Amino acid sequence: MAKPRKPKPEDPKPAHSGAVVRHQKLCLSIDTNLRRIYGYTELEIEVPDIGIVGLHAENLGIESVLVDGEPTDFEYYPRNQSSDIEKRWASAVSSPSSAADVAAAAYVTALETELIPNLLINCFNKMQIEQINTEPNGVQSSAEVKQNVKSVRVNYWVEKMETGIHFEDNVVHTDNQIRRARCWFPCIDDNNQRCCFDLEFTVAHNLVAVSNGSLLYQVLSKYEPPCKTYVYRLDVPVTAQWISLAVGPFEILPDQHNGLISHMCLPPNLPKLRHTVEFFHNAFSEYEQYLDAKFPFGSYNQVFLSPEMAISSSTVGASLCILTSQVLFDEKVIDQTIDTCIKLAFALSRQWFGVYITPEAPNDEWLLDGLAGFLTDLFIKKFLGNNEARYRRYKANCAVCKADDSGATALSSSFACKDLYGTHSIGLLGKIRSWKSVAILQMLEKQMGPDFFKKILQAIICRAQSTTCPVRSLSTKEFRHFANKIGNLERPFLKEFFPRWVGLYGCPVLRMGFSYNKRKNIIELAVLRECTATIDSSVSVLNANPDSENRDGDIGWPGVMTVRVYELDGMSDHPDLPMAGDAWQLLEIACHSKLAARRYQKPKKGSKPDGSDDNGDLPTVDMRSSVDSPLLWIRADPEMEYLAEIHFNQPVQMWINQLEKDEDVVAQAQAITALESLPELSFSVLKALNNFLTDSKAFWRVRIEAALALASTSSEETDMAGLQHLVKFYKSRRFDTDIGLPKPNDFSDFPEYFVLEAIPHAVATIRAADRKSPREAVEFILQLLKYNDNNENPYSDVFWLAALVQSVGELEFGQQSIYFLSSLLKRIDRLLQFDRLMPSYNGILTISCIRTLAQIALKLSGFIHLDHVFELIKPFRDSKTIWQVRIEASRALLDLEHHCNGINAALLLFIKYIEEEPSLRGKVGCACYAVMSDTRWICL
């Protein structure tokens, strides 16, 4: 077992007030008509010696405060920072460059101000307190402890809702943004304050109030109009940020397989909800089985709200998750299935790691985020397949290696976790940190073995569920002890592992090449070590520049990488490549195969040096890269034991061997990337890519990569062979050979559906010598749009059509293909009109049409009037349209405005759209696009 730590109080006293909340009760009446909340909260607080308790309360109307039932003095300091910010802007902003500095300073000041309690309560009795007895050893007596525990009741109301809680028609819901709990009930909004909660919510009799913990009972009042009170109890101590509430006319769908689970949504979405959550009990059971523990809370509720109402796609609370209904899908929708399953599984994993088990300090947040992602990967592997899990992990690791180049991606650093004030966990940077956290934990699992890693997680949960002294926080240091004791990893390895991977940033970059020594029958492997980030040499990491002066110093990461060699006589692993050492290293790897004449079949007459003949007959029996080598192909780190960027050089035939013979999806993806990047393409390369694309047994995601590789390699030099292969493959699957036209849609084979859906996109990216789309490519896409028939298909074709429409936007029209444009635009207009009458799933078809129209307009701005396109798209900004369509229209119009009138006009239009946008999520979506586009506009 891990080294036990000294028992610590579950709720340590925070430095800013000294008060400790033992229990909190929240009783609220919610009036959706008047958009008003009123009621009280009652806190059982251990009062500090000073007698003053500080609570956080933002935009609340404090009516009265009572201590032990008696009125008491209090001071409330409402924060109105907008006027201060306006004064600072007026005095400090003198140029666009200074505006960013002032905005950042104002933001940081607002965050720091929020840390200070603004509701100060005097907990002294008016009568003089009797002298408190103390034990001889200085420890407080029970009388003193009892004297210091006060019942503080705050009667208040909430009328002006800005953040934290939101009203939309007859729906009310909260969000869990940083320090937003204080916006709807007084509390000590601090990560170090955890307590149990009693929750009572009174709403209209036709509404449902969903909150945290177990629903004890409901009470229907006899008054007019009738009201209903929902009473919940949360017996697991949590911080205030995990208290959530959703009120609305929800339809309740109890899970058919597990009585602890309930799913809720607004009435129109009930059929979709029923279909979407069929799988969910599998994830719930899988987590309980893996962790060898029951779900930590008495129940688990999922509430799905309309996207316009939600602040984010998911809001996690204790035993409750509020999501948007845009992730729901019916039996006709194919494309949304995988993403929704993973999203719901991750939200559930956060209940275990993040809500139930919390980080001990901000620097430990990465660990809980990584453990939640690790659990989600287990679900993906078991229920979506090992290929899906490995492919997603490989792509995530590639993204991390590209982006892990600054202090913001150091997982356990004061800069990333404190100085960024929580923003490190949102946006693209948050995704990178999340993926990196999971990769690091998976590295540890590879080092110690899956069984040992599972025991560590089980020990953490068991410790938290202890009835004597539960510990529900986790630190990086403690996890390191677990890895040493339970995981059986050596202390020297861990001493290097955690500081290097968790405390610093940057990933190893390994550049490898080899030669085969026939006389010694060995492989001579040359390795150059680099790093994705330039870090000071004092931390023993190589400067990213291979020609730098310190490149020969001792650099690297703990551990040894495996090199897997595939030979004629089989495969063998060689764990011979240390991750630390000199920048340059030469390794010798022994081969097991012996060259023999019988293994080599003489090539046929007229064959090419690469092993293929002019007629495209079957390849020769010998799969070797050359006659003088027994090697088929070589892989570094085949099991992804390290988060590393690997550049491996081997002959073309060995890459082809790897693509055709290695059954690992990661090996196949790596081979496709290598073949695609070749400066010169041979017939054998194109044939290998095409054979893989047409292989129905191969994993569909990698087949899509093969299609994109064929498109990128299609050029005049290869006689447009890639285009021919793609069109021929599509027609062999979806065209009627007798009439030469597309067959009616049949999407029953899901993997084949995804591959074929990607073909138009791949075709649209092909360019001829004049950098325009070949006539055949434009005509092919038009043909697919013109003859699409979904009448007898049980599945929806909106994603299929959306992919076709988006491929039109990727075309480049030249003299030979411009006359197809009018026919394509007519098809797009027809789809727009049809989608307006019968809206598609989440408006996906209208969104793709708007995006494509804007792309075509910008490309052909010299030949068409952009004002016409502007007027065509503008009506889709109407508030009655769904928010996704509205935001896409706003984005397109901003791009058109910038193209016509410049960046200043585009920014003014952006401000206008932000003011007019009715939904907060829509404002965020529009703002994010403007921020990302700002740099692009300047470059243009």
Residue 524 has pLDDT above 70, yes or no: yes
94 or 496, which is more confident:
496
Per-residue pLDDT, 80 = 65
Mean pLDDT is lowest, of 105-109, 188-192, 520-524, for 105-109
Identity of the amino acid at 142:
S
Containing H/E element for 831? helix 821-837
Per-residue pLDDT, 931 = 72
Task: Please state the φ and ψ torsions of residue 254, each to the nearest 5 degrees.
Answer: -65, 140
Q: What is the mean pLDDT of residues 446-452?
A: 95
Per-residue pLDDT, 95 = 65
Indicate the pLDDT class of residue 934, thresholds 50, 70 and 90. low
Burial label, 710 (beta-carbon count in 10 A; 0-12, 13-18, 19+): buried
Which SS3 state, helix, strand or coil, does residue 205 take?
Answer: coil
Distance CA 557, CA 886 (A): 48
Q: What is the mean pLDDT of residues 932-938?
A: 57
Residue 59 has pLDDT above 90, yes or no: no
End-to-end CA distance of the chain: 60
Per-residue pLDDT, 130 = 46
Residue 917 has pLDDT above 90, yes or no: no
Q: Side-chain half-sphere of 421: how many Cα atoms within 13 Å?
A: 14
Is residue 207 a contact partner of residue 173, using CB atoms and an 8 Å limit?
no
Mean pLDDT is lowest, of 100-109, 411-420, 821-830, 893-902, for 411-420
Task: Please state the φ and ψ torsions of residue 210, each to the nearest 5 degrees.
Answer: -115, 130
Distance CA 140, CA 137 (A): 9
pLDDT digits (tens, 9 = 90+) for 780-837: 999 999 999 999 999 999 999 999 999 999 999 988 889 999 999 999 999 999 998 8
Closest CA to 679 of 705, 647, 638, 717: 717
Closest CA to 40 of 53, 52, 29, 56: 29
Indicate the pLDDT class of residue 362, thresholds 50, 70 and 90. confident
Mean pLDDT of the chain: 86
Q: What is the mean pLDDT of residues 44-51?
A: 90
Closest CA to 759 of 804, 719, 825: 804
Q: What is the mean pLDDT of residues 295-307?
A: 94
Task: Please state the φ and ψ torsions of residue 67, each to the nearest 5 degrees.
Answer: -120, 120
Distance CA 873, CA 870 (A): 5
Mean pLDDT is lowest, of 17-21, 124-128, 566-570, for 124-128
Residues 6+ apart with CB under 8 A from 520: 588
Per-residue pLDDT, 548 = 38
Task: Please state the φ and ψ torsions of residue 16, each to the nearest 5 degrees.
Answer: -80, -20
Residue 161 has pLDDT above 90, yes or no: no
Query: Model pTM?
Result: 0.90
700 or 550, which is more confident:
700
Indicate the pLDDT class of residue 395, thresholds 50, 70 and 90. very high
Q: What is the mean pLDDT of residues 197-211?
A: 96
Name residue 74's beta-bridge partners.
121
Distance CA 436, CA 438 (A): 5
270 or 88, which is more confident:
270
Q: What is the mean pLDDT of residues 334-355?
A: 96
Structure tokens given for 466: 């202890």
Residues 6+ apart with CB under 8 A from 224: none
Architecture of domain 357-503: Orthogonal Bundle (1.10)
Q: Which region, left, alpha or beta, applies to residue 221 given φ > 0 means left and ψ of -120 to 50 means alpha?
A: beta
Residue with the two structure tokens 């429409």: 805
Q: How far is CA 103 from CA 88, 115, 414, 832, in A?
A: 9, 19, 22, 41
Strand extents, DSSP E, 175-276: 195-204, 208-210, 214-220, 227-238, 246-248, 251-254, 261-265
Residue 547 has pLDDT above 50, yes or no: no
Distance CA 422, CA 872 (A): 41
Indicate the pLDDT class of residue 613, thresholds 50, 70 and 90. very low
Is residue 594 a contact partner of residue 630, using CB atoms and an 8 Å limit?
yes
pLDDT digits (tens, 9 = 90+) for 745-772: 999 999 999 999 999 999 999 999 989 9
Distance CA 776, CA 188 (A): 66
Is residue 229 a contact partner of residue 218, using CB atoms and an 8 Å limit?
yes
Indicate the pLDDT class of residue 918, thresholds 50, 70 and 90. confident
290 or 413, which is more confident:
290
Tell me 415's DSSP state: I
Indicate the pLDDT class of residue 244, thresholds 50, 70 and 90. very high
Work out the percent of the chain whose per-residue pLDDT is above 70: 86
Q: What is the mean pLDDT of residues 555-577?
A: 90
Per-residue pLDDT, 928 = 79
For CA atoms 872, 878, 881, 885, give the dihedral sign.
positive
pLDDT digits (tens, 9 = 90+) for 473-493: 999 999 999 999 999 888 889
Tell me 111's DSSP state: H
Instruction: Give residue limits of the domains in the chain.
Output: 19-83+111-125+148-248, 357-503, 714-852, 865-939
Mean pLDDT is lowest, of 374-383, 557-566, 603-612, for 603-612
Output the 3-class SS for 740-783. Answer: CEECCCCCCCHHHHHHHHHHHHHHHCCCCCCCCCCHHHHHHHHH
Mean pLDDT is lowest, of 124-138, 313-327, 398-412, 621-635, for 124-138
Per-residue pLDDT, 347 = 97
Per-residue pLDDT, 10 = 46
Distance CA 785, CA 260 (A): 47
Q: What is the mean pLDDT of residues 64-88?
A: 79
Distance CA 827, CA 804 (A): 11
Output the 3-class SS for 485-517. Answer: HCCCCCHHHHHHHHHHHHHCCCCEEEEEEEEEE
Is residue 677 a contact partner of residue 652, using CB atoms and an 8 Å limit?
no
Tell me 561's DSSP state: E
Residue 656 has pLDDT above 90, yes or no: yes
Per-residue pLDDT, 216 = 95
CATH class of the structural domain 19-83+111-125+148-248 = mainly beta
Is residue 1 a contact partner of residue 173, using CB atoms and an 8 Å limit?
no
Is residue 391 a contact partner of residue 701, using CB atoms and an 8 Å limit?
yes
For CA atoms 422, 358, 1, 283, give the dihedral sign.
negative
Indicate the pLDDT class of residue 9, thresholds 50, 70 and 90. very low
Mean pLDDT is lowest, of 49-58, 394-403, 421-430, 543-552, for 543-552
Which SS3 state, helix, strand or coil, does residue 195 take?
Answer: strand
Q: What is the mean pLDDT of residues 115-144?
A: 61
Answer yes or no: same fold for 19-83+111-125+148-248 and 357-503: no
Residue 623 has pLDDT above 70, yes or no: no
Indicate the pLDDT class of residue 599, thresholds 50, 70 and 90. very low
Q: At what angle do helices 798-809 and 775-786 cross, to 10 degrees?
A: 150
Strand extents, DSSP E, 593-696: 631-636, 645-648
144 or 91, which is more confident:
91
Residue 554 has pLDDT above 60, yes or no: no
Is residue 156 a contact partner of residue 41, using CB atoms and an 8 Å limit?
yes
Strand extents, DSSP E, 582-730: 584-590, 631-636, 645-648
Identity of the amino acid at 657:
N
Q: Residue 719, Cβ neighbours under 10 Å: how many?
A: 11
Is residue 596 a contact partner of residue 568, using CB atoms and an 8 Å limit?
no
Residues 6+ apart with CB under 8 A from 423: 429
Residue 79 has pLDDT above 50, yes or no: yes
Name residue 646's beta-bridge partners.
510
Indicate the pLDDT class of residue 146, thresholds 50, 70 and 90. low
Residue 13 has pLDDT above 70, yes or no: no
Indicate the pLDDT class of residue 285, thresholds 50, 70 and 90. very high
Name residue 92's beta-bridge partners.
none
Identity of the amino acid at 18:
G
pLDDT digits (tens, 9 = 90+) for 576-595: 899 988 889 999 999 988 77
Q: What is the mean pLDDT of residues 206-215?
A: 96
Per-residue pLDDT, 915 = 87
Distance CA 747, CA 800 (A): 10
Per-residue pLDDT, 12 = 45
